[in-house]
Structure 1
Amino acid sequence: MSKPVSRNLLTRWSRSEDSLVRVFRNSSWLFSAKGLGAILSIFYLAILTRTLGVAGFGEFMVIVGAVQVLTAVLKLQTWQAVVQFGVPFLLAGQHRAFRKLSAQNFWIEFLGGLAACAALWLMLPYGASQFGWSDPTVNAIMGYGVIVFLSVRSTPIGILRAQDRFGGNAFGDAIIPVVRFAGALVLVATLPSMTGFLIVWGLSEFISFVVMWLMVWRRKETDHPLRNASATPAEPPSRKEFLAFLLFTNLTYLVSVIRERLVVVMVGFFVGPAAAGLFRLADQIANSLNRLAEVFARPLFAELSRLFAIGQTKELRTLFWRSLRVSAISGGVLFLGLLLLGKNIISLISGPDYLAAFPILLLLGAATIISLAGLGLEPLLQAAGRARNALVARVAGLVALGLLMAVLLPRFGTLGAAWVMLISAILTSIILFISSRSAIRQPRQRLPKSPAP
């Protein structure tokens, strides 16, 4: 009896069109990649911290963080635009319009990458004099940056998510931790160095970029699984609407990256590489929780975009409140685990030299979990065409972060920086919640509803 029941449940799970079930189903694909990444990252993080030492690890993370900040500033993220404006085309079967939108986003992302390469080339001499980098290290940093900047990954991610192909997306994401883990093992067996780790990190980005596009080209024409044959043809977005959405989503992303990465760079510059190493280790462990949030938030954004496109207001509200409850409960459980096991996790991964990172870990973990508890807020605003509101919340949190950092970082060092991250997260979540309540009460429908058959 148990086998037919289990088969029945699996069939219902795989075919259910309940919005929250669809989000969890798509999340399961991403979770498989993120889960693999989380496990492998523990091993390559252990190799990094133990072979480079506290100061060397901090220096390495300053480099990676600076490249990521430059990416956020100049290389536009396009996946949200592909999903937001591409899903209505796929629902109506307008594949040519979808391909045109995808090509447009490809060139936007690629040209931004070229600008980022030029900026890194101009900034490298200053970083080399600050940290005393050798010529091979400078060349490795430039090579790593060029690969990251010119690997157009955001556009294929958007294409796969718009087409509801989260399995392909998960496979491309999983490549990065696999390559980093394998490369770290090779370095341990040979001669581990900062230059070697930069080469491995760049190689992981390049291979993931190639795999993502192979997954896209594997099936050029595809019907959206929820395509409605009688759906009203979708109108392309106006240039003003498209650019406004791209601008606000990218500014929101930029603020998020600055909050997460620039702080590490600032700690490295103003307190020292060793302090940056402790801060980044705690941040890396806390960010493993953030990856869980992304696993749920990205399919949630795609599903909310679909519901807005077809005008399902009641189902939209239900999905929003259900997702909020799930994420709040998950956040509480995760923080309890961090409180009980945090010291053991740090000691296991990096050794007793890094135990000073535990108080920082608790504060950064609390900040991440507060964001996790409200992970449906920002996707709702973006899907509702209110990306500006999400940006306002992020900018307010960033302004608070900057002001408090100027006061607390010189006085309290890394612990002060961690408190600033927590206060900023609380402020941002409050503003996002207020804006989301308004959006859920009066949703703006971007497209006309499909006529009844």
Structure 2
Amino acid sequence: MKQWLADRHFRSLLKNSGYLTAAKAVAGLASLATLAFAGRGLGLEQFGLLILIVSYAQAASGVSRFQSWQLIIRYGGGPLAKGDAQPLKDATGFAFALDVWSGLAGMLLAMGLLPLIGGWFGIPDSDIDLALAYCLIIPFLAAATPVGILRVLDRFDLLSIQSSIYPILRAILIGIAWWQGWGLAGMLLIWFATELFGQLLPWWWGWRELKRKELHRGIRPTLRPTTLARAWNFALNVNVTISLKAAWGPVARLIVGGLLGPASAALYRVAASIADSAQKPADLFAKAFYPEVVRMDLKSARPWLLLMRGVLVALAVGVLAFGLLAMAGEPIIRLAFGEEFVGAFPPLLVMAGVPLLILISFPLPPTLYALDKPSAPLIARAVGVAVFLALVAPLSAAYDLVGAAAAYLLGNVIMVAIMIVQTWREYRRIKPRGALGRARS
């Protein structure tokens, strides 16, 4: 371990993921409290409707929005480390234009389709107006450009503050709404306002950091990034990959709501929320790992050694998380949500395997992106999502919520297996200088 800590990239990975992990732990507890207050205040059916309306907007954002922060790191991180700021400015201008136009397009499309397809997902006609109003948040969801700026400038501390402050605020306000007996509309308004606040914070901080480092001049929004090689190809591959990822989050909840009803969507959301809380460290490790790996020479053994060390740390976290979910899941549900929601525990037991899978595979997508192989994670996720979508209806019909959870688990197993094969193939192709076992930190 002493040798590991001598590696500055490994230390940076631990430091930055530590910032984010601490913040996400707080945010996870706040989110759980939010769901508990909302569930107790609205009851199973109305809580299910709230989840379906929020999930619809999240799904529309996930499908339409570009993960433009990846562009900023991919094209700006390496050159900036060498003293060249222009690629960062060009990537920021491209990312900003993508955020604005895709956000507006996603909102208009979601609002246009909602009256036609809302019933498919269990949203009744009487609540369509509420859902339409909530769709106004879509352009503000996933503030990707400022997130990319803050990550490239190593301001993970600000990101950790942002990711914890608005879930805490939401939990407090939803708790007040439960106490005062507010209904679905009041809680949706709180969800909207706190989401807006949380998404605007990174924009302010990102611009402030650019000005502080005198990097703000010369940033021009454009959809024609002529100075960034294959930027559109990279952006489209990442966008489709993340859009497919949405099928396992909000879209999955919409599918469950359409197949089994709002009450089942509520139980699925509770189970997925608790399972996702155990999966958060993987997302945080990946976000901290990506800026490190793009600064390294992938033809040397050092980034691959960092990958293996990160996997071993994540594996230890994953085994612990799996055990905690299996032992404490039912008491947590009963204590937080009440007896009415205990039906979420059986699907949670099945979903508990997913955090372990995602944790041990967290370095794979960033490594493939750094290798300029953006289509590789896309292929893996496309196959995994196809498996999920093919299995969710028949398994749900046969085994109810446990079947939906099993489809989710099997889709993730296939996705991770494909990415392992892809990464191993790239490693064999590159043949990094020096064996991993002999690489010096």
Normalising by structure 1, report the TM-score.
0.86
Q: Aligned runs of 1:234-313 on 2, under 5 Å?
A: 241-308=230-297, 313=300
Rate the CA distance shift 1:335–1:196 in 2: closer, same or farther, 3 A: same
Structure 1 distance, partners of 2:331, 2:387, is: 33
Length, aligned pairs only: 418
Partner residue, 1:348: 335
Structure 2 distance, partners of 1:412, 1:187, is: 35
Task: Indicate whether 1:332 and 2:319 are aligned.
Answer: yes
Give how far 1:170 is off. 1.6
Aligned match for 2:421, one of 434, 443, 446: 434
Structure 2 distance, partners of 1:441, 1:155, is: 34
Give how far 1:444 is off. 10
Q: Aligned runs of 1:307-322 on 2, under 5 Å?
A: 307-308=296-297, 313-322=300-309
3-state SS in 1 of match to 2:209: coil
Give how far 1:17 is off. 5.4
| Paired residues of 2:276 and 2:355 also in contact (CA < 8 A) | yes
Task: Indicate whether 1:92 and 2:79 are aligned.
Answer: no
Task: Indicate whether 1:405 and 2:392 are aligned.
Answer: yes
3-state SS in 2 of match to 1:219: helix
Rate the CA distance shift 1:208–1:172 in 2: closer, same or farther, 3 A: same
Give how far 1:385 is off. 1.2
Task: In structure 2, give the amino acid aligned to 1:379.
Answer: P
Partner residue, 1:160: 150
Give how far 1:276 is off. 1.1
Instruction: Work out the percentage of aligned pairs sharing the same amino acid.
Output: 26
Structure 1 distance, partners of 2:267, 2:356, is: 20
- Unpaired runs of 5+ residues, structure 2, are 215-224, 433-441
CA deviations over 1:49-88 (Å, ceiling 9, x no partner): 1111122222211112221111111121211111111112
Aligned match for 1:131, one of 102, 123, 127: 123
Give how far 1:360 is off. 0.3
Task: Indicate whether 1:74 and 2:64 are aligned.
Answer: yes
Q: Aligned runs of 1:352-367 on 2, under 5 Å?
A: 352-367=339-354
Aligned match for 2:131, one of 141, 144, 165: 141
Task: In structure 2, give the amino acid aligned to 1:263.
Answer: A
| Paired residues of 1:279 and 1:414 also in contact (CA < 8 A) | yes
Task: In structure 2, give the amino acid aligned to 1:439.
Answer: E
Give how far 1:98 is off. 1.9
Give how far 1:330 is off. 1.8
Task: In structure 2, give the amino acid aligned to 1:288.
Answer: S
| Paired residues of 2:68 and 2:148 also in contact (CA < 8 A) | yes
Give how far 1:274 is off. 1.0
3-state SS in 1 of match to 2:398: helix
Rate the CA distance shift 1:138–1:405 in 2: closer, same or farther, 3 A: closer
CA deviations over 1:258-295 (Å, ceiling 9, x no partner): 12221211111121111111111101110111222111
Partner residue, 1:121: 111
Structure 2 distance, partners of 1:213, 1:292, is: 24
Q: Aligned runs of 1:135-214 on 2, under 5 Å?
A: 137-151=127-141, 153-214=143-204
Partner residue, 1:106: 96
Rate the CA distance shift 1:47–1:97 in 2: closer, same or farther, 3 A: same
Structure 1 distance, partners of 2:47, 2:431, is: 47
Task: In structure 1, give the amino acid aligned to 2:314.
Answer: S
3-state SS in 2 of match to 1:307: coil
Partner residue, 1:369: 356
Task: In structure 1, give the amino acid aligned to 2:312.
Answer: R
| Paired residues of 1:293 and 1:372 also in contact (CA < 8 A) | yes
CA deviations over 1:19-46 (Å, ceiling 9, x no partner): 2211010111112221210121221111
Normalising by structure 2, report the TM-score.
0.89
Give how far 1:375 is off. 1.4
| Range that drifts further, 236-245 or 344-353 | 236-245
CA deviations over 1:146-181 (Å, ceiling 9, x no partner): 223235611100010011111122222223202211
Rate the CA distance shift 1:50–1:152 in 2: closer, same or farther, 3 A: closer
| Paired residues of 2:61 and 2:141 also in contact (CA < 8 A) | no
Structure 2 distance, partners of 1:378, 1:96, is: 26
Task: Indicate whether 1:83 and 2:70 are aligned.
Answer: no
RMSD: 2.4
Give how far 1:347 is off. 0.7
Task: In structure 2, give the amino acid aligned to 1:293.
Answer: A
Structure 1 distance, partners of 2:177, 2:299, is: 53
Aligned match for 1:22, one of 12, 25, 34: 12
Task: In structure 1, give the amino acid aligned to 2:280.
Answer: R
Rate the CA distance shift 1:277–1:425 in 2: closer, same or farther, 3 A: same
Give how far 1:218 is off. 2.0
Structure 2 distance, partners of 1:128, 1:72, is: 17
Give how far 1:128 is off. 5.7
Structure 1 distance, partners of 2:74, 2:83, is: 15
Task: In structure 2, give the amino acid aligned to 1:277.
Answer: A
Task: In structure 2, give the amino acid aligned to 1:261.
Answer: P
Rate the CA distance shift 1:237–1:90 in 2: closer, same or farther, 3 A: farther
Aligned match for 1:386, one of 333, 351, 373: 373
Give how far 1:221 is off. 4.8
| Paired residues of 1:95 and 1:221 also in contact (CA < 8 A) | no
- Unpaired runs of 5+ residues, structure 1, are 1-8, 225-235, 446-453
Task: Indicate whether 1:51 and 2:77 are aligned.
Answer: no
Task: Indicate whether 1:216 and 2:206 are aligned.
Answer: yes
Runs of 4+ in 1 over 4 A off after TM superposition: 127-130, 221-224, 236-240
